[in-house]
Structure 1
Amino acid sequence: MTTPTTAEHVYETDLPARLDRLPWGRFHTLLVFALGITWLLDGLEVTLAGSVSGALKNSPALHLSNSDIGLAGGAYIAGAVLGALFFGWLTDRLGRRKLFFITLILYVSATAATAFSFNVWSFLLFRFLTGMGIGGEYTAINSTIQEFTPARFRGWVDLTVNGTFWIGAALGAGGSILLLNPAHVSGDLGWRLCFGIGALLGLIILVMRLWLPESPRWLLTHNQPDEAKRIVEGIEAQFREQGHDLPAPEGKKLRMRSRDHTPLSEVFRTLFVTFRQRALVGLTLLTAQAFFYNAIFFTFALVLTEFYQVPYQRIGYYVLPLALGNFCGPLLLGRLFDVIGRRVMISFTYGISGVLLAVSGYLFEQQLLDVTQQTIAWMVIFFFASAAASSAYLTVAETFPLEIRALAIAVFYAFGTGLGGIVGPTLFGRLIDSHQRGAVLVGYLMGAALMLFAAGVQAFWGVAAEGQSLESVARPLSQAQD
């Protein structure tokens, strides 16, 4: 129940506890499908960029070089960084629901425009705008999913949702196998149709999101307790209609001060002074996984074509096992992040990913792996690395106060991805252009070292947030003193 106290501009609420005590139900499943599909779109985009790289180099309109392919990956990431910052600020200011419509519309428009690229610079521009849409999606969607998901399921749900990136990767791989086959579609038309897949999926998702309400937690921190109460009561009514007996919420009510926004000065003081240690952990985790993933996955097709002579039309066949390993990692390991705990599992998955990458990189440099063995090695590495990368987003989303959650995700995503995601693809594109396995090994060892460093930082300073409400992990800025 929510009791406004107008004179003191303070009100009491038990709505977060009521959301946390809900069983898993149809509402949560639909929420995950409608919002979690963002990662599917990102996986589709990243995979298409790699899978169609050969076709882009042979396109009469584009004629991209290996360095241009790396630059396009950097443009996509740069757009994601700026989109995350700009739309992350708007998400905390204007609401989760408004922004996950705006960012999806931007994505659909930009990825459709990519299909009509007419030269190198138009392709780079449209990839940049596509990245802006995806970056904005990350901030709005991560916030919304965590704020609706009961605390005891939060780790597994967040990791599994992030893992759907690889369903998108599989779709991108399958689409490229079909559309890059000259027996079905001409080469220059094929890669254009591939980018149309994302636009079509985005339009479908747009319709799926129409039924989603605003986050009650966001409404509480923006002085709208009555609207938040109406939404929570509507969700509870759905559960009761489905035959669930809802237990009483645990713990005492929160006392919230009314406010309509959080000043930027308070945002940055909270991020970099009050929660300085958590900020360092989040920045380290996101930077390491961004370099690891973007460096390797944006350019893996170039490795296959340059060093294993795989025809670009067949790249998609090698993406599918990688996508399987990446999706199974969060799905199978995710529950352990709630049971064993965040600190142990995040450190373990980061550490083992770094070790395996260093070993496989050495075997690659020594030419001890054929293309099938190399693919199997990547499949095993990404089984662990996918859970690690997903846990980075989980960490930055749940360890900062509600009022600045989306912007916190945006800031650390921007710093981490800017450092690791823009440098990585560009660097690897140039390393591959050297045609020397030893040069590529240097890049792999850099990625491995970053993952091992991140594992150590998490082991010492990580937050044990498993099973706790978001308000317990990080006290809301608008919460009144008891």
Structure 2
Amino acid sequence: MTRESTRASVPATTGTVTTAVPARLDRLPWSRWHWMIVIGLGTVWILDGLEVTIVGNIAGRLAEDGSGLDITAAQVTGTAAALYVAGACSGALFFGWLTDRYGRKKLFMVTLAVYLGATALTALSMESWWFFLFRFLTGFGIGGEYAAINSAIDELIPSLYRGRVDLIINGSYWLGAIGGALLSIVMLDTDIFAVNVGWRLSFALGVVLGLVILLVRRHVPESPRWQFIHGHGEDAEKLVSSVEREVEEEHGRPLPAPAGEITIHQRRSIGFGLIAKTVFRRYPRRAVLGLSLFIGQAFLYNAITFGFGTILTTFFDVPTGHTGYYFAVIAAGNFLGPLLLGKLFDTVGRRVMISSTYLLSGLLLFGTAWLFGSGVLTATTLTACWCVVLFFASAGASSAYLTVSEVFPMETRAMAIAFFYAIGTAAGGISGPLIFADLTESGVPSETVLAFQIGAGLMCAAGLVAAFLAVKAERRSLEDIAEPLSAARDEAEPSRG
């Protein structure tokens, strides 16, 4: 089996090697092995969506007398949320650097362990400072997950399927959000669980699910692309040969010949200075694209979801205990977008789909803002409008992660994901709440309309940037999209922008 072939790792030795490993991976048909990667790496987003949604919904319960924690609802949605965001940004940058240096597998095991440990200790909170500390550390782990997992997925999934798989995996966060919204209704029912028990069990359930994911993840291999660049070429060859045998046995036919080879000057590590120089000097237009996509989607989501419950309760008198049902509906729209549109990113193409999903979601949100300001919407019709907006926005937001994970050289991949994720998360999680909180809580329709318009405007701007700068990466090898820094070539390659 594949996992047996990777147990005895050959010590790293550097030199110049010629390998067909990337082409061999890209020409594989879909198989059980790929499903194992998707389940082992991708399902953690379901867990993240579950936990983040639960935390938002239990804020009021934590503030009640008898919850076992001396904390206010504002501290849960304000201080704790900001610390979670700060942890995610810090973790993405820290673990992203380690992922490029020490490998994908080591880090996606470590980051999940950090995430699970911090979540478990959050459930044991008796003091507010303890709750704040472990919310930060939970974010620290999940930020690292984004860098380690997205880089591993793109390097293991064949180019024919890379776009749709990446989008669906990132969009699966919203499956967890649906579960979290509905689960919180049960966990907060004092006829079932005591005031000081239900919220703790919510975190404990997340830990149990995470442990199951950790068991599956043990069998996900290291990225062969990372291995052959960092002096583990023999391990990479053994791993790919093992996978090829499994796939041929499953499909009952021999695989076609790989499309080509690449020659690499192996090196054990890449300096941070070279990474930064590559991203911003060699590929400046791609850097602008990544920043635009992440910031646009961050502000759109904050324009809608940050004040979601407040808007429903303030303008439509929806009881606080019922907002979870509405959230489950818009979460479903978020998941269906990547699920149904994902294939088009591999067939119609990245540029058309990225720009159109950003522009459509922005324009639809402008329309929703106008209807809201006109006073013609109800809680149900507003939720329906949000559902349509987020159907397209979720596919666009997921494509932001796909974009930054495939348009930069392999040696910089995890760090690039970490950097753009950190910028987008900081913009959405820090600037967004500061801008939108007063607008959505004021009770003045025109101010909430302004919040919608800001998010819509930035989303449309990002869509226009994508229309001009998006890279035609569909069905292309990662090495063709951005040549590795370690690749042997006769002369220096000019900037690709």
TM-score when normalising by structure 1: 0.94
Which whole-Å deviations, capped at 9, do the CAs of 1:201-254 have from their partners, x for residues lacking one? 111111111111111001011011100011101111111221342433343310
Contact 2:59 2:76 in 1 (8 A): no
Q: Take 2:14 and 2:188, find their aligned partners in 1: how far apart are those partners?
A: 65
Q: 1:299 aligns with which of 300, 307, 310?
A: 307
Match of 1:42 in 2: 48
Q: 1:258 aligns with which of 266, 273, 282?
A: 266
Query: Offset of 1:303 from its aligned partner?
Result: 2.4
Which whole-Å deviations, capped at 9, do the CAs of 1:281-322 have from their partners, x for residues lacking one? 001101111222245324322322333333333222112211
Range with greater deviation from structure 2 (280-289 or 418-427)? 418-427
Match of 1:286 in 2: 294
Q: Take 2:136 and 2:440, find their aligned partners in 1: how far apart are those partners?
A: 23
The answer as to 2:62 corresponding to 1:56 is yes
Match of 2:181 in 1: 173
The answer as to 2:101 corresponding to 1:93 is yes
Pair 1:7–1:18, CA change in 2 (3 A): closer
The equivalences for 1:24-39 within 5 A come to 24-39=30-45
Match of 2:493 in 1: none
- Stretches of structure 2 lacking an aligned partner (at least 5 in a row): 1-11, 491-497
Match of 2:399 in 1: 391
Query: Offset of 1:125 from its aligned partner?
Result: 2.4
SS in 2 for 1:475: coil
Q: Take 2:79 and 2:228, find their aligned partners in 1: how far apart are those partners?
A: 43
Contact 1:67 1:430 in 2 (8 A): no
Match of 2:323 in 1: 315
Pair 1:117–1:434, CA change in 2 (3 A): farther
Match of 2:145 in 1: 137
Query: Offset of 1:264 from its aligned partner?
Result: 1.1
Q: 2:440 aligns with which of 432, 440, 443?
A: 432
Contact 2:163 2:402 in 1 (8 A): yes
Q: 2:332 aligns with which of 320, 324, 331?
A: 324
Contact 2:440 2:451 in 1 (8 A): no
Which whole-Å deviations, capped at 9, do the CAs of 1:139-172 have from their partners, x for residues lacking one? 0000111101110111111111111111111111
Contact 1:114 1:195 in 2 (8 A): yes
Match of 1:457 in 2: 465
Contact 1:342 1:464 in 2 (8 A): yes
The answer as to 2:388 corresponding to 1:380 is yes
Q: Take 2:451 and 2:326, find their aligned partners in 1: how far apart are those partners?
A: 21
Match of 1:3 in 2: none
The equivalences for 1:13-412 within 5 A come to 13-58=19-64, 60=66, 61-66=69-74, 69-412=77-420
SS in 2 for 1:242: helix
Q: Take 1:157 and 1:31, find their aligned partners in 2: how far apart are those partners?
A: 11
Query: Offset of 1:453 from its aligned partner?
Result: 0.6
Range with greater deviation from structure 2 (41-50 or 392-401)? 41-50
Contact 1:35 1:145 in 2 (8 A): yes
Q: Take 1:370 and 1:186, find their aligned partners in 2: how far apart are those partners?
A: 34
Query: Offset of 1:76 from its aligned partner?
Result: 1.6
**Which amino acid is the alignment partner of residue 347 of structure 1?**
S
**Which amino acid is the alignment partner of residue 47 of structure 2?**
L
Contact 2:59 2:73 in 1 (8 A): no
Which whole-Å deviations, capped at 9, do the CAs of 1:311-358 have from their partners, x for residues lacking one? 333222112211211111101101111111100110010011111122
Contact 2:289 2:465 in 1 (8 A): yes
Q: Take 2:81 and 2:371, find their aligned partners in 1: how far apart are those partners?
A: 26
SS in 2 for 1:151: coil
TM-score when normalising by structure 2: 0.92
Q: Take 1:283 and 1:62, find their aligned partners in 2: how far apart are those partners?
A: 39
**Which amino acid is the alignment partner of residue 22 of structure 1?**
L
SS in 1 for 2:376: coil
Query: Offset of 1:184 from its aligned partner?
Result: 1.3
**Which amino acid is the alignment partner of residue 184 of structure 1?**
I
Q: Take 2:398 and 2:39, find their aligned partners in 1: how far apart are those partners?
A: 17
Q: Take 1:212 and 1:345, find their aligned partners in 2: how far apart are those partners?
A: 30
Q: Take 1:217 and 1:477, find their aligned partners in 2: how far apart are those partners?
A: 13
SS in 1 for 2:41: helix
Match of 1:448 in 2: 456
Pair 1:433–1:117, CA change in 2 (3 A): farther
Query: Offset of 1:9 from its aligned partner?
Result: 2.5
Pair 1:53–1:377, CA change in 2 (3 A): farther
Q: Take 1:266 and 1:415, find their aligned partners in 2: how far apart are those partners?
A: 20
Pair 1:295–1:135, CA change in 2 (3 A): farther
Q: Take 1:430 and 1:226, find their aligned partners in 2: how far apart are those partners?
A: 58
**Which amino acid is the alignment partner of residue 257 of structure 2?**
P
Contact 2:14 2:267 in 1 (8 A): no
Identity of aligned residues (%): 48
Pair 1:175–1:395, CA change in 2 (3 A): same
Query: Offset of 1:371 from its aligned partner?
Result: 1.2
Q: Take 1:188 and 1:362, find their aligned partners in 2: how far apart are those partners?
A: 43
Contact 2:13 2:231 in 1 (8 A): no
**Which amino acid is the alignment partner of residue 225 of structure 2?**
R
